[in-house]
Structure 1
Amino acid sequence: MQDSHAATTESAAASPAAYAPTDRTVPTRSPERASYDRALVHSILDEGYLCHLGFVRDGAPIVLPTLYGRIGESLYVHGSTGSRPLRTAGRTEDAPGIEVCLTVTHVDGLVLARSAFHHSMNYRSVVVLGTARAVIDEQERRTALDALVDQVVAGRSADSRPANAKELAATAVLRLDLDEVSAKVRTGGPNDEPEDAQLPYWTGVVPLTRGHGAPIPADDLDPAVPLPGYLANL
């Protein structure tokens, strides 16, 4: 099998600058906020590590929060081999997979309008629709798991023990290709009604930022082990 990372990187390099809109990726509300720009989609995905994975189980819609990693034009999620949705996806290359909707959202600000109706948020989000398929090839699975770790803390996969054979056997990995994709972004201030302009209420945006606290060493960490540079730089 061709190296998965190289293959997806080459695919991304040869891809057009935007994803093709579909009936399912064109929003009915505020369509002017939608974007299919590939670079924007990648930037939103690369800034995060938590997604919400939606699918149907036993006729009921289910949404699970989980970690993800991106390699080129594919997203990877993982879980226990005993997980029902991961079992549903199948464990062979020719399995049908499972239809999913994966979303990633960053909230950048609280938008406070003069009227309760026009309160909103500034955000950046990505929605990916498609068939998630089980990853069977061992090298692709290891590469995907490294990507998941590095998505959370860049550089961490090279500074930790990789999964052994037992751990790898207990871990299911799914791949969702970035084919049916859209981004949606809101920026700017409140959209107050003109007749509300003189109302005596504060209006504006409260910016939100994500930060990292100082790393706290484990109780049993050898004091001789230094803080890695990739953590000191967070």
Structure 2
Amino acid sequence: MSDTLETPLSKVKRGPNRAQYDKKTALEIIDAALMCHIAQTKNGQAFVTPTCHWREGDYFYWHAHSKARNVKGPIDEPQKVCINISLLDGLVLARSAMHHSVNYRSVTLFGMPELIEDKDEKVRQFKIFLDKISSGRWEQLRPINDNEIKATGLVRIKIEEASVKFRGEPPIDDPEDYNWPVWAGVIPMERTWGGAQTDPKQDNIYPAARPPEAF
């Protein structure tokens, strides 16, 4: 895959100064996020579906019920999907309402979905996904069964057409506003997981069990 993800379709028209097409940066944002939004059309109607995602090499994966629109739709009616991954990094509070903003990192991907049907490959990818959420947990779980594998659709696109947009700076005000008597700056977003909440049905069965580390 080329080091640049820029194509005529992925080239950013609005705010190109905040855009880049570096593969390494795009992969870092994809890996740092857990959820994405998949946009597709069916019979002229646009749909956006939130789902969890993961990556292996140059491929971006997601899963859903085998009959779900974001799995079945692009296969029944072959067409490119558009996928967005966004991470909010902070609130940017300026001296005027119109210069307020947010600091963020975002990737927009385009690609033709490919359905993965091989049973062994599906199971291997499910393990990769679960390891992203909680490393080492797969081996502790009740083994996945054939009905679950069949009922779960697995789709991927190749990461070769995308754009990255980001903002990571203080507020940018009009020169005449910098002396306006109000606080201005950035309030960073800090991401932390709360304390694990044990399933109440587990207490009497596995009293010594300990929660795993989260994603």
1:13-52 to 2 correspondences below 5 Å: 15-16=1-2, 18-52=3-37
Task: Return the alpha-carbon distance in structure 2 between the equivalents of residues 194 and 126 of structure 1.
Answer: 32
Q: Does 1:213 align with 2:197?
A: no
Q: Does 1:125 align with 2:106?
A: yes
Preserved contact between residue 90 and residue 186 of structure 2 (Cα < 8 Å): yes
Q: Report deviation, 1:218.
A: 1.1
Unaligned runs of 5+ in 2: none
Aligned letter for 1:210? R
Question: TM-score, length-normalised on structure 1?
Answer: 0.84
Q: Does 1:227 align with 2:211?
A: yes
Aligned letter for 1:112? L
1:1-234 to 2 correspondences below 5 Å: 15-16=1-2, 18-90=3-75, 97-221=78-202, 222-228=206-212, 230-231=213-214
Question: TM-score, length-normalised on structure 2?
Answer: 0.91
Q: Report deviation, 1:85.
A: 3.7
Task: Return the alpha-carbon distance in structure 2 between the equivalents of residues 97 and 202 of structure 1.
Answer: 52
What per-residue deviation string (whole Å, max 9, x for no partner) do you get for residues 165-198 of structure 1? 0111111111111010121111110010001112
Unaligned runs of 5+ in 1: 1-14
Task: Return the alpha-carbon distance in structure 2 between the equivalents of residues 193 and 158 of structure 1.
Answer: 57
Aligned residue pairs: how many?
212
Task: Return the alpha-carbon distance in structure 2 between the equivalents of residues 141 and 109 of structure 1.
Answer: 37
Aligned letter for 1:55? Q
What per-residue deviation string (whole Å, max 9, x for no partner) do you get for residues 127-186 of structure 1? 110111211111221122222222333333333234210111111111111010121111
Preserved contact between residue 64 and residue 70 of structure 2 (Cα < 8 Å): no
Preserved contact between residue 5 and residue 22 of structure 2 (Cα < 8 Å): no
Larger mean CA deviation between 49-58 and 133-142 belongs to: 133-142
- Percent of residue pairs bearing the same amino acid type: 33
Preserved contact between residue 6 and residue 21 of structure 2 (Cα < 8 Å): yes
Task: Return the alpha-carbon distance in structure 1 between the equivalents of residues 116 and 149 of structure 2.
Answer: 12
Ranges of 4+ aligned residues in structure 1 off by more than 4 Å: none
Task: Return the alpha-carbon distance in structure 2 between the equivalents of residues 212 and 20 of structure 1.
Answer: 33
Q: Report deviation, 1:96.
A: 6.5
Q: Secondary structure at the match of 1:147?
A: helix
What per-residue deviation string (whole Å, max 9, x for no partner) do you get for residues 91-113 of structure 1? xxxx7644211111100000011
Corresponding residue number in structure 2 for 1:3: none
Task: Return the alpha-carbon distance in structure 2 between the equivalents of residues 212 and 54 of structure 1.
Answer: 28
